[in-house]
Chain A
Amino acid sequence: MSADPALTRLGAAALGAAVGAGEVTAREVLEAHLDAIAARDGVVADGDVWHARDAADLGPDDLHAFLVVTAARARDAADAVDRRRAAGEALGPLAGVPLALKDVLTMRGAPTTCGSRMLEGWVPPYDATVTERLAAAGIVVLGKTNMDEFAMGSSTENSAYGPTRNPWDPDRVPGGSSGGSAAAVAGGLAPLGVGTDTGGSIRQPAAFTGLVGGKPTYGAVSRYGLVAFASSLDQAGPFARDVTDAALLHAVMAGPDPRDATSDPTDPADVVAALGRGVEGLRVGVVEELEEAGCEPGVRAVFLAAVAALEAAGATVERVSLPHAGYGLPAYYLVAPAEASSNLARFDGVRYGRRVDAATAEAMNAATRGEGFGPEVRRRIMIGTHALSSGYVDAYYLQAARVRTLIARDFATAFDRVDVLISPTAPGVAFRIGAVADPLAMYRNDVATVPASLAGVPAVSVPIGTADDGAGSGPLPVGLQIMAPLRADDRCYRVARAVEAVVGFDPDPAAHGAGVRR
């Protein structure tokens, strides 16, 4: 089937409207995106299920966003949408729109690896609630996307299947851990993506690839079928090339789920209805501690210009302090590994995934885990195990959890004064693949994103321009993070839409002369 490549440049709302109006079929929309994947991603585009090539066999410009493309099942899903339309059924706003799903969420019958050799070949027998909700909205899942192993990382370099490349410069990382979904959307392989965010894993890759990315209020989106990293922090959320598309996808994903005991039982905020309200009279707080947190000069300049633009659009801007925000990163790197060390105990070589045989059960467990987990996952399991061990649990884990309380209180106090808080999303622009070798230096990427994660509040990153890295890079995207009180996700999207309107960022790398190696 021939497909119109121009369809890959349209946003989700436009595609959904065109499908709903009968101007194009869901199948035509899908084929255009499958063609783009076949051309750019380094998959073997053959048969019902397309697999990514081994890392050693990938070309230097292959994005490697997808680990697997479920082509036949996507065609079935698109054809089903077209049949429903032909039968006169009313379709939702995203029916027939393709989506890239992070490989940490289960989809029945399709492999889920979490970017790990530990789960190579595992085919889950059930759908995540997110996956069910996407299907109910008529969204067509293209496949499963690359990620840092078990969502631990800020660059997607920790995938056991090789790094994903940034569509803005193929020598650079797309951020992480949800780098595959981000690269797919930024590279025109999908108009929508789903990622997960534990300490910034949606917001930072959104910033690095010029996308809108949102971490919902903790509990707004069900974690059922999301392979757990840190259960008190993990949230799935949207990637899109504009705010409206991201809000539409958030609305599909959010809502109570009796299968997740940590799901918020209250009805989620209506993020779509709030979009057009602007920022006239809104009180915006610039977080002092996060603005000053070692930002590259280019990022800081673009951020300050966006703040001025918000003020010109009618917002009242003041500087606000979150006194404990500077302790967010050390607290996060105790709480998250502690929870991970517990959650990842399930990978024991017994029920699913890899097994390395040994004479005793304990030796089999240890051999399996030693071989199945990559270096970063091992490090975090070790940190978490140490932080929870006898003699250390009070000084490390419990102290970090107390600091977490103070950070949440800081947010509550700040939200007595202002309606939203803002900061740069990441301290720098996308860095070169292989450039950040020290684990602690990699962790510092998350300095501005972890405070909202620890407090559980919603946060959205919206692109506000480009900067170079001060060392000869081309233009690379910069993101602004908007944080709002618990359950006020609508406020994040409302402000993001206003920022988008005043900044006028074009998410196509080619429009900036980018997308090439430098």
Chain B
Amino acid sequence: MSLSEDEVRHVAALARLALDDDEIAALTPQLADILAYAAEVGAVATDDVAPMTHPLGLEDVTRPDVPGERLPADAVLAAAPDRVGDRFGVPRIVEEDA
């Protein structure tokens, strides 16, 4: 199948992957090969066949509605690249009002 570098850039944006031009150029033919191979599934007649998502067919698994164990905040936040008090720090995502 054909796949353009622009299409690969679009997918990289969807996947939140920063890739430079060399990486895009190297990936494009590889992805085209893999997708061409994967597209062989299209040769199978699947009218009236439901997609399978789980081998055992378990559905609507629930647990008793009681509080479970939980990790202390410090244990979780210890792994954060940027900790701000008891929260995860991230770059600003909402502009302040002018």
Within 8 A of A (CB), among B2-46: 8, 11-19, 23, 27, 30-31, 33-35, 37-44, 46
With A and B bound together, what is the CA distance between A40 and B97 in angstroms?
A: 62
Residues of B close to A50: CB separation below 8 A: none
Q: Is the CB of B18 within 8 A of A366?
A: yes
Residues of A close to B92: CB separation below 8 A: 360-361
With A and B bound together, what is the CA distance between A264 and B39 in angstroms?
A: 32
Residues of B close to A367: CB separation below 8 A: 18
- Which of B17, B43, B51, B63 is the most central at the interface, judged by chain A CB atoms within 10 Å of its CB? B17
Q: Which of the 9-residue segments A161-169, A184-192, A384-392, A419-427 touches chain B?
A: A384-392
Residues of A close to B79: CB separation below 8 A: 122-125, 351-353
In the complex, the chain A residue whose C-beta lies closest to that of B31 is: A382
- From B14, B38, B88, give the contact of A330 (CB < 8 A): B38
The DSSP consensus for interface residues of chain B is: loop
With A and B bound together, what is the CA distance between A123 and B76 in angstroms?
A: 10
Q: Is the CB of B55 within 8 A of A341?
A: no
Q: Is the CB of A406 within 8 A of B31?
A: no
Q: Does A364 contact B (CB under 8 A)?
A: yes
User: Contact residue range for chain A?
Assistant: 35 or more
Q: A219-B56, A400-B41, A440-B34 are in contact. Are A258 and B63 (CB under 8 A)?
A: yes
Distance of A224 from chain B, by nearest CB (Å): 12
Q: Is the CB of A350 within 8 A of B88?
A: yes
Q: Is the CB of A350 within 8 A of B81?
A: yes
Residues of B close to A443: CB separation below 8 A: 34, 37
Q: Is the CB of B39 within 8 A of A330?
A: yes
Q: Is the CB of A385 within 8 A of B11?
A: yes
Q: Does A381 contact B (CB under 8 A)?
A: yes
In the complex, the chain A residue whose C-beta lies closest to that of B18 is: A370
- From A265, A352, A402, A440, give the contact of B50 (CB < 8 A): A402
Distance of B26 from chain A, by nearest CB (Å): 8
With A and B bound together, what is the CA distance between A125 and B70 in angstroms?
A: 11
Q: A381-B15, A395-B42 are in contact. Are A232 and B88 (CB under 8 A)?
A: no
Encode A488-511 as 1/0 by CB contact (under 8 A) with B: 000000000000000000000000
- From B8, B30, B51, give the contact of A405 (CB < 8 A): B51
With A and B bound together, what is the CA distance between A490 and B19 in angstroms?
A: 47
- From A217, A264, A333, A381, give the contact of B38 (CB < 8 A): A333
Q: A125-B75, A125-B78, A261-B61 are in contact. Are A440 and B15 (CB under 8 A)?
A: no
Residues of B close to A486: CB separation below 8 A: 55-56
Distance of A90 from chain B, by nearest CB (Å): 29
In the complex, the chain B residue whose C-beta lies closest to that of A355 is: B81
Q: Is the CB of A366 within 8 A of B17?
A: yes
Q: Does B52 contact A (CB under 8 A)?
A: yes
Q: Is the CB of A382 within 8 A of B15?
A: yes
Q: A219-B58, A333-B38 are in contact. Are A352 and B44 (CB under 8 A)?
A: no
Distance of A387 from chain B, by nearest CB (Å): 7
Q: Does B98 contact A (CB under 8 A)?
A: no
With A and B bound together, what is the CA distance between A354 and B93 in angstroms?
A: 20
- Which of B40, B55, B63, B81 is the most central at the interface, judged by chain A CB atoms within 10 Å of its CB? B55
Residues of B close to A265: CB separation below 8 A: 58
Q: Is the CB of B18 within 8 A of A401?
A: no
Within 8 A of B (CB), among A469-483: none
Distance of A437 from chain B, by nearest CB (Å): 11
Residues of A close to B31: CB separation below 8 A: 379, 382-383, 386
Q: Does A223 contact B (CB under 8 A)?
A: no
Q: Is the CB of B76 within 8 A of A399?
A: no
Distance of A466 from chain B, by nearest CB (Å): 31
- From A334, A351, A402, A439, give the contact of B46 (CB < 8 A): A402
Residues of B close to A371: CB separation below 8 A: 18
Q: Is the CB of A352 within 8 A of B80?
A: yes
With A and B bound together, what is the CA distance between A355 and B63 in angstroms?
A: 35
Q: Does A378 contact B (CB under 8 A)?
A: yes
Q: Does B85 contact A (CB under 8 A)?
A: no
With A and B bound together, what is the CA distance between A156 and B39 in angstroms?
A: 27
Q: Does A349 contact B (CB under 8 A)?
A: yes
With A and B bound together, what is the CA distance between A408 and B44 in angstroms?
A: 14
Residues of A close to B11: CB separation below 8 A: 382, 385-386, 389
Residues of A close to B53: CB separation below 8 A: 232, 401
Distance of B37 from chain A, by nearest CB (Å): 6
Q: Is the CB of B88 within 8 A of A403?
A: no
Q: Is the CB of A350 within 8 A of B80?
A: yes
Residues of chain B having any CB pair with chain A under 8 Å: 8, 11-19, 23, 27, 30-31, 33-35, 37-44, 46, 49-56, 58, 61, 63, 71, 75-76, 78-82, 88, 90-93
Give 5 new A-B contacts, CB below 8 A, not counting A330-B40, A352-B80.
A324-B44, A366-B18, A378-B27, A382-B11, A456-B56
Q: Provide a sorted-by-A list of 15 A–B residue pairs whose CB atoms are within 8 angstroms.
A: A122-B79, A125-B76, A261-B63, A324-B44, A351-B79, A352-B79, A365-B16, A370-B19, A386-B11, A399-B46, A401-B52, A405-B46, A406-B46, A443-B34, A486-B55
Q: Sorted from nearest, which 4 A-B pairs have the closest CB atoms?
A: A456-B55, A401-B51, A370-B18, A355-B81
